[in-house]
Amino acid sequence: MLKAPLDILADKLRGYIGLAFDLMECPEKVQKACEALMPHLARIALDSTDPAGRLPIPIWMHRGCVPFISRQHFETIYWPTLRPIVEAIWAKGNQTLFYAEGKWDAHLAAFAALPAGSIVYHLDRTDAAEACRVLGRKFCLSGGVPNALLAFGKPEEVRARVRWLIENVGTEGGYILDASAIIQNDAKIDNLRAMADAAMEYGVYRSPSAPTAPIQMNDQPAGWSAKAVCIPYREREIPGDSEIVRRIWDENEQLAYLFIWHMLLSF
């Protein structure tokens, strides 16, 4: 699992309003905080990747797009502390799923600079046609069926949207049909049936798309030596075998470290 360092600040530590004030009053502290978070978030992501390279690491993208933050803060803080993590995950042979909640049109060009095949880009409010134009030949796209349409639209409208996505976004392969965001309880059953039926009717490719092989690299960015402990072990006057004491100490510290980061990433 993964979040951008700035989203950790906005979601869990400062709140969005607190982050907005911080970006205006002390942006240098925000940047340093994101840089401090980056190696730990990278470690959690890299340690939890699928060894077979089949499952992407999901990243929930919340507050990093315009208008939540300015384009300047995206280019100087948000993206420079996220992009190296995504590239390190790809270097290990794993994709990252960009669950891009909201509208990210302003930043598609930045994402396009990532290595081909390194991400799956999920369409929420991003313009699907523009995302296909900028990202479609490099990355798999998913989503694009609006949740409001599933909740309040008519089955024929859902079918029309699904057909448009398949024929325009998925015309050359590399498209996964899905709702724009997690399907909610207010989605109508008839609309979900229409979505599935339209997928079966229109979702047939003339030829299979060829997967892009990941670029394998062994080096990780300098300075990414975050240790999975909260309090490092130091020699203590505890009776018994010092090696056993150290091992138990380190094991408990690793559990505490993992618990803390899951609280920031999972909820």
Q: Where are the beta strands (DSSP E) in 55-194?
A: 57-61, 96-100, 119-123, 140-143, 175-176
Strands of the sheet containing 175-176, edge to edge, are: 57-61, 96-100, 119-123, 140-143, 175-176
Q: Are residues 140 and 79 in the same domain?
A: yes
Are residues 15 and 83 both part of a single domain?
A: yes
Going by C-beta distance under 8 Å and a sequence separation of 6 or more, which residues neighbour residue 128? 141, 144, 165, 168, 169
- What is the torsional sign of CA 148, 151, 157, 161? positive
| Torsion sign (Cα): 224, 228, 233, 239 | negative
Question: Based on the domain organization, do 233 and 211 belong to the same domain?
Answer: no
In this predicted structure, the answer to whether residue 214 has a pLDDT above a threshold of 60 is no
Classify the C-alpha dihedral 64-94-85-72 as positive or negative: negative
Tell me which residue range forms the domain holding 251.
Answer: 227-267
Least confident window among 29-38, 71-80, 151-160, 235-244: 235-244
Distance CA 90, CA 53 (A): 9
Mean pLDDT of the chain: 89
Q: Say yes or no to pLDDT of 133 above 90.
A: yes
User: Given a cut of 50, is residue 145 above it in pLDDT?
Assistant: yes
The enclosing domain of 155 has a CATH number of 3.20.20.210
- pLDDT value, residue 241: 84
Task: Evaluate whether 132 touches 164 at the Cβ level (below 8 Å).
Answer: no
pLDDT at 74 over 50: yes
Query: Do 59 and 165 have their domain in common?
Result: yes
Q: Kindly tell me if the per-residue pLDDT of 254 is higher than 70.
A: yes
pLDDT at position 267 over 70: no
Q: 130 and 100 in one domain?
A: yes
171 and 75 in a common domain: yes
Give the pLDDT confidence score for residue 218 in this predicted structure.
47
Q: What is the tally of structural domains in the chain?
A: 2
Dihedral, CA of residue 93, residue 82, residue 12 and residue 76, to nearest 10: 180
